[in-house]
Chain A
């Protein structure tokens, strides 16, 4: 088996941050805040966060904040809960929460909770359990979880539970590994994992591992490196990660590296991108791959960052 080409990935991530001219970067311009979170967290996991100009990153980040307190995906784009979490996660990485008005960001999120406990993504009312996770994760990092109705939020998530133990976007929605991460993560952060049927969900999740060693996101779908994160983090939170073969998954992720130019792709020999690079590295982190810092399965931030938030006075 090959090894993780750490140096090349670091170079790749740094180059993506700078490149703004190719087609992909233009198409993804509106979600640059999430791109920043993926890239910077991957760098931190690889021990290279110090290669980044923090002041530059922070000043750009702040220019994406709106009067409402929410953040847009890039300068000039509308605020959305997705990018608000990414911004808060980036600030947590840099330990720079003091540059924002925490109450203002909190207000933005609190106002997105609906009567039934669910969350909208922004003022236009799209409801999805992804947004429940985001709200809960973000407020927890900000030490403001008490500002929403947690009980109702949890109840809504549970109303999205399916026969296979997984969770969907809204009640009745099909289970999907990404959605399961969001729901299990939200339940983990609110101390509600007793509401998860761990054995049933664990079986569904561990059966995501296909012959090649990679994980898919739903039954009878192709494997994809990003599920190394969504499935693995969920299995980790419910203490069932030993139900898959770690060795085979490590091999699959390593096989998805571009060993020449850096970066990780969804499947071997596909084009790399920052999203899959992060999820590949994060997956290896959960697999305790040597040289990669441990990541927290619920907050999707390095464990030392999460511990700094909760265990320093």
Chain B
């Protein structure tokens, strides 16, 4: 029982309790008999009242009271005021017995909704209750209900939260209600609250008092983060990256007659598809990308294109959208540069799920060139196998234009923010530095890290200011030690910042880029991004990695590859020696149709009973994908679907030629033979060539 000590009762207490139980039992029996026989006499009502006074949780008794009220009101000589007053009194008694009784609070609302009560009395009652328990969320909910009923202004309620916080800042409920009220006022564009800079400065001031008084008290933490977010975030969707990027030249390589069907990217692995993906990456999930909101002009365009959201749950919103330019049946000239122009957002329709529209029309132009292949591409033929040995990778001194490398510095779209934002954030940084100089606390460090990250985002590297990445990384490292309970939270943040640093410029990327070339290969290998052994626990900065075709993420601590679906050119992926726990964690790969080679050896597949990505993967349990029974049975025979459904859902739609799954608990013979059936395109499984 909540908060009741565990101890053996004394004998006399036991006897008393047993007598009480007997009394309550007969009261309940009596009540139920009245209820079932629809008896609403004064005596019967008294029974229900007595019962609710002892046990306000008995919901059936509240229902009975409502039936009784309706019955009594139907008598012509009844006085509604008296009837309702009795109910309100009973609720009051019940609430004094149990503050948290859902049934009692709802009964009061029900009575009020009949139009009978003095609002003034409700407010007095609430003030009493809220003084006794300032965090009671039932009372706060009821307060919002009453305030709306009496049309009390948001400003007045805001004043109330000020009073409450003034009396004791440690009241999360009050801070929460402030965020609700301010959001309302902002939405209504109320005077003094719109635009938001009108109130944000004052709010920052307000919440500092709370945080600086006792930095270990969480009451102001989340409110402060909300304020940072309100300061930094753009209201409208923003295009953060694209592939091909603006101003780039993409070289395709084709067979001798340059018929499009054999086209692939130069130095690339996108073999034989004859399609060129165009990828748009926004700052948040958007909807409404289609041929009218995004216009493509090019002589390479022969048919209307259908944009596809890269969404895990088949929804029509996504952060990354892709379209495939089909060059399959085209005669292309080797000496010609074909230009492609993409106009994003010239007609209205692109929006966040909150309804805010894209308001910054932009244009991306790039050129496509074709070349004849000097030799037949060897990959995927003749049993040649991708190996991830160090000797196959050769350091790159400098990039060539045809490498089509993207980084944050060729990001075409920099958010335009007012000076006010950066100044506000800079001021906050000063304040938190002051706090930390006096008291070493985790919220101080964490907030400082967030503020510095926000400042970097606002000022971008183009204005020549030094980025704060190093300091942020150090702060997260400190936090892992300072607060070991949540160390993996900080580690994930650390990984995201590390990746941001690596991908920020072409120069910063260069040390991680290699040419892949195995001993027997004659043609120049393609660029592989090697992010191995960086103790990454999380992937990020995908917007700067849209160009990647070969990626080595081995020897990290990844348990998720969230976001990887944006890499629509990815052909070879090494995830060996990570912490992937389940097949459902590989779901982003389902959307990477170009993937041919996958190494997931030495992970934790099959070692865990609890699947933490079960609901992030489309499947019948989340009603996002029907189970293809027929296909499953053809492939799997008598194998039970309850064992292999995850692997079937993931691999069933991939066209891998090489897969390495050794070093996982799941990789037994039985499972391997299942994989061979699910992946008919497979040529290599583990170290074995399939015949």
Contacts and interface: CB of A to CB of B under 8 A. Distances in A.
Real complex partners, A and B?
yes
B396 interface: no
Interface string A63-100: 00000000011001110100000000000000000000
Given A22-B21, A80-B59, 18 more contacts: A78-B60, A162-B176, A163-B180, A164-B176, A174-B177, A191-B618, A192-B313, A206-B486, A237-B614, A237-B615, A239-B585, A242-B612, A245-B485, A270-B1, A288-B609, A288-B610, A298-B622, A311-B620
Interface stretch (B159-167, B218-226, B330-338, B466-474): B218-226
A244 B24 contact: no
Contacts of A299: 621
Contacts of A298: 614-615, 621-622
A265 B660 CA distance: 47
Contacts of B58: 30
Given A163-B176, A175-B176, A194-B285, A207 B616 contact: no
23 contacts: A26-B21, A26-B24, A73-B59, A76-B32, A78-B60, A125-B110, A162-B179, A163-B179, A163-B180, A172-B180, A176-B137, A189-B621, A191-B315, A193-B313, A194-B312, A220-B170, A236-B612, A239-B562, A243-B486, A248-B485, A288-B610, A296-B621, A312-B642
A312 B176 contact: no
B489 A203 contact: yes
Contacts of A25: 21
B576 interface: no
Interface stretch (A36-44, A52-60, A302-310): A302-310
Nearest to A136: B623
Given A145-B623, A193-B313, A239-B616, A207 B218 contact: yes
B189 to A, nearest CB: 19
A241 B612 contact: yes
B18 A29 contact: no
A228 B106 CA distance: 28
Contact of B6 (A76, A175, A269, A312): A269
A206 B642 contact: no
A18 interface: no
Contacts of B179: 162-163
From A25, A200, A248, A310, residue with most partner B Cβ within 10 Å: A310
Interface residues of A, number: 93
B135 A221 contact: yes
Contact of B2 (A122, A243, A266): A266
B621 A310 contact: yes
B273 interface: no
Contacts of B585: 239
Most chain-B Cβ atoms within 10 A of its Cβ — which of A23, A128, A293, A308? A23
Interface of A: 21-27, 29-31, 72-73, 76-78, 80, 122, 124-126, 128, 140, 145, 150, 162-164, 168-170, 172-176, 188-195, 200, 202-204, 206-207, 209, 218-221, 224, 236-239, 241-245, 248, 258, 265-267, 269-273, 285-286, 288, 293-299, 303-304, 306-308, 310-313
A79 B140 CA distance: 28
B269 interface: no
Interface of B: 1-7, 17-18, 20-21, 24-25, 28, 32, 35-36, 55, 57-60, 62-63, 66, 102, 106, 109-110, 135, 137, 140-141, 144, 170, 172-173, 176-177, 179-180, 183, 217-219, 221-223, 225-226, 285, 311-315, 317, 353, 484-486, 488-489, 492, 559-560, 562, 585, 608-610, 612-616, 618-624, 627, 629, 640-642, 645
Given A193-B616, A220-B170, A270-B1, A172 B20 contact: no
A92 to B, nearest CB: 13
Nearest to A184: B615
A145 B172 CA distance: 36
A23 B170 contact: no
B60 A77 contact: yes
Contacts of A308: 642
B4 A270 contact: yes
Nearest to B25: A26
- The A interface, classified by DSSP as helix, strand, loop or mixed, is loop
B56 to A, nearest CB: 10
Nearest to A162: B176
A164 B221 CA distance: 10
Given A163-B179, A164-B176, A243 B6 contact: no
A206 B2 CA distance: 22
> Main SS of the interface on chain B?
helix
A37 B641 CA distance: 27
A27 B492 CA distance: 47
Given A23-B18, A26-B21, A195-B353, A236 B6 contact: no
Contact of B36 (A31, A76, A176, A243): A76
B145 to A, nearest CB: 9
A71 B624 CA distance: 29
A244 B484 CA distance: 9
Nearest to B619: A310
B24 A27 contact: yes
A169 B314 CA distance: 28
A296 B609 CA distance: 10
Contact of A124 (B28, B66, B177, B183): B66
Q: Which residue, A242, A245, A269, A298, has most C-beta atoms of chain B within 10 A? A: A242
B485 A244 contact: yes
Given A174-B173, A175-B176, A236 B610 contact: yes
Contacts of A73: 59-60
A248 B483 CA distance: 13
6 nearest A-B pairs in the assembled complex, by CB-CB distance: A191-B624, A188-B615, A294-B609, A219-B218, A191-B622, A163-B179
Contacts of B20: 23
Nearest to A170: B141
B24 A23 contact: yes
Contact of B623 (A24, A189, A245): A189
A270 B612 contact: no
A15 B140 CA distance: 39
B627 to A, nearest CB: 7
Contact of B141 (A26, A125, A173, A271): A173
A204 B176 CA distance: 13
